[in-house]
A = this chain, B = another copy of it.
Amino acid sequence: MTTVPPGTKAEPCARIERGQGCGVERCGLCEARAVSICNAIEEDQLSELARATTVVELAPGEVFRNEGASPEYLFNIISGSVKLFKLLADGRRAVIGFLTVGDFIGFGRPDAVPCSAEALTNVRLCRFERGKFRVLLETYPKLERRLLAVASDEVAAGQEHMTLLGRLTADERVARFLLARAEASQRLGGSSKDLELPMTRSDIADYLGLTIETVSRVFTRLRRKELIDYKTARSVTLQDRPGLLAISEGG
């Protein structure tokens, strides 16, 4: 079991670029727009959207949202990868999810942030001040509709993950994780065979409800069975998709 020493907290020294290239340009040229909630907003209203946002850059390891805090900001990921996690009092950690380009960060009860968020890679975020975001929602019903759809999806994804955590074996969990990663990669136009994993074995373990050692053992077992291959721990090739699928379903 991985535990985190209490009081380890990255200082929020984010470089902030405010309003550069404002108006249609910034949001209009945004690399993430097509896959983010912002695609619910019409071309000719992008300048109003841009006025409500600030672009933030983060380095790997930076924590930019703290569990339990008041949710001052909401975010869209423009580029890079992020992990969401929760800490228990004794240092046990649960990784709730891994997010990338286009993903929205900001669901939860209105009074407290449900989980902390940390950059895994260099990350560019589009940041909304909470009050301004609420105004946007009221102004653009399409945006609200889009957000409801995203939240609804997220509920379903959460239920899927609960099933994994509650009822699957270690092999099944890792196989599903790899297949899910492949699918996500494909959705963003990447390869569905060659995966770049921006997270450590420890992050994967905390995501799958396992230990580092178990995750590592399952990876090597899958490699020996020639279902996957890798030279470095962070870039994996799926060699036998049907085989992985069979394992993921309890084969």
A positions within 8 Å CB-CB of B: 84, 86, 88-90, 92-94, 96, 107-110, 114-115, 137-138, 141, 144-145, 147-149, 151-156, 158-163, 165-167, 206-209, 249-250
- Is B152 a contact partner of A89 (Cβ separation < 8 A)? no
CB distance from A151 to the nearest CB of B (A): 4
Give the contacting residue for A166; candidates B90, B109, B209, B250; CB below 8 A: B209
Sample of 6 further A-B pairs with CB below 8 A, known A141-B144, A151-B152, A166-B207: A84-B159, A92-B167, A109-B152, A115-B159, A166-B206, A166-B209
Task: Determine how many copies of this chain the complex contains.
Answer: 2
Contacting residues, chain B, for A159 (C-beta < 8 A): 84, 86, 96, 108, 114-115, 158
- Is B148 a contact partner of A208 (Cβ separation < 8 A)? no
- Is A153 a contact partner of B109 (Cβ separation < 8 A)? yes
- Is A155 a contact partner of B94 (Cβ separation < 8 A)? no
- Is B165 a contact partner of A162 (Cβ separation < 8 A)? yes
Contacting residues, chain B, for A148 (C-beta < 8 A): 144, 147-148, 151
Contacting residues, chain B, for A249 (C-beta < 8 A): 88-89
- Is A89 a contact partner of B250 (Cβ separation < 8 A)? yes
**A207–B153 CA distance with the chains assembled, in angstroms:** 21
- Is B151 a contact partner of A155 (Cβ separation < 8 A)? yes
Contacting residues, chain B, for A88 (C-beta < 8 A): 163, 167, 249-250
Residue of B nearest to A110 (CB): B149
Contacting residues, chain B, for A147 (C-beta < 8 A): 148
Give the contacting residue for A93; candidates B161, B165, B167; CB below 8 A: B167
Residue with the greatest number of chain B CB neighbours at <10 A, chosen from A94, A114, A141, A155? A155
Contacting residues, chain B, for A151 (C-beta < 8 A): 107, 148, 151-152, 154-155
**A86–B138 CA distance with the chains assembled, in angstroms:** 36
**A145–B109 CA distance with the chains assembled, in angstroms:** 13
